[in-house]
Amino acid sequence: MRAAQIQKYSKEIHLEINNVKIPKIDNREVLVKVEAAGVNPLDILILNGSIRMIADYDFPLTLGNELSGVIEACGKDVVDFQVGNRVYTRLPVNKIGAFAEYVAVKDEAIFKMPKNLSFIEAAAVPLTALTAYQALKEVLNAQPNAKLFIPGGTGGFGAMAIPIAKAMGLYVITSGSERGRSRVLSIGADEFINYKEDNYAEILSNIDYVIDTLGTNEIKRELDILKPQGKLVSLKALPNYRFAVENNLPMWKKMLFSLVGARLDRLAARDKKEYHFLFVQANGRQLQEITSLIENDNIKPSIDSTYKFDDINKALQQVSTGHSQGKVIVTF
């Protein structure tokens, strides 16, 4: 089979398409023929080695974190799936490789695709939807009628996070460029802020939750708009001691992340607020709940562009610009 691989961490976007063996499956795995794969900023971070302290990989490494496809074979202990099922998944962190024609994946990490989505649409869902779900449910323990702010919510993450948050009963505010206004309002956002015309830090206050998508430089302003006891979860800034403990990381990483995240923890604690960091995990049970939500509310992800597998480097270049209005997809 063909797989898009790197031989080392690099700042350059240059994946090689190599011929490798189709993976063998164990008793609890399924073999999926990949139809489409989502391309994410996370792939760039893995490529350039930015997240080595969270997840370090052996080489050659097949990149790619989420996919949709068809089950071609099942391990003997797999009971909930069968050959021919259309499935989607955010691959386990320690076993990525969606940029390939076939993938072996644990049955606990997959679920059947929403019936209202195509393969291309389904491939755009797992990573962002699970990120939103885990941020809102597990980290923030978000309560109905609370106010949530998502800065930069006009991209692929906002396309899933906004309707999921609305389904949980939250009041959702987001910001972005003007061309994204009508789209985010149409999927449920209650308020939109054009970041080129208005400074959200001067407009917003008494916010219950923030999901940060912008990174470390923005954290202080995001914390400032929270009410006392408000919570912020970052998808892009720095891990902290709390993150290391919650993910059962070894003691040396707990000590390291305690130092790395200390400034952000201090900023939050000063006003009795909480700073969290999230690195999304594979979870088939949560995908099942997300599937129900997508089908019941007929939620559709935003697709920026699609590329053929041979153009995987062009797809990654597109994501690296940071200007995608939705998800970038490669098809097989």
Digit-coded pLDDT (tens) for 50-70: 999 999 999 999 999 999 999
Q: Tell me the pLDDT tens digit for each residue of 111-134.
A: 999 999 999 999 999 999 999 999
| DSSP output for 64-99 | --EEEEEEEEE-TT--S--TT-EEEEE--GGG---S
- pLDDT, mean over the chain: 95
Residue 23 DSSP symbol: P
**pLDDT for the residue 322:** 76
Q: Report CA torsion sign: 66, 279, 23, 49.
A: positive
Provide the percentage of residues in the chain whose pLDDT is more than 70: 100
At 192, list the tokens. 């939109």
Contact 78, 29 (CB under 8 A): yes
Residue 325 has pLDDT above 80, yes or no: no
Q: Mean pLDDT over residues 59-88, rounded?
A: 98
**CA-to-CA dists, residue 296 to 137, 187, 280, 299, angstroms:** 19, 14, 24, 8
* Residue 233 contacts residue 135 (beta carbons within 8 Å): yes
**pLDDT tens digits along 271-305:** 899 999 999 999 999 999 999 999 998 988 989 89
Mean pLDDT over residues 190-198, rounded? 95
Report the C-alpha gap between 107 and 104 in whole angstroms.
9
**pLDDT of 156:** 82
Q: Which pLDDT belongs to residue 274? A: 96
pLDDT at 121: 97
Lowest model confidence (mean pLDDT) among 124-128, 136-140, 297-301, 314-318: 297-301
pLDDT at position 130, please?
A: 98
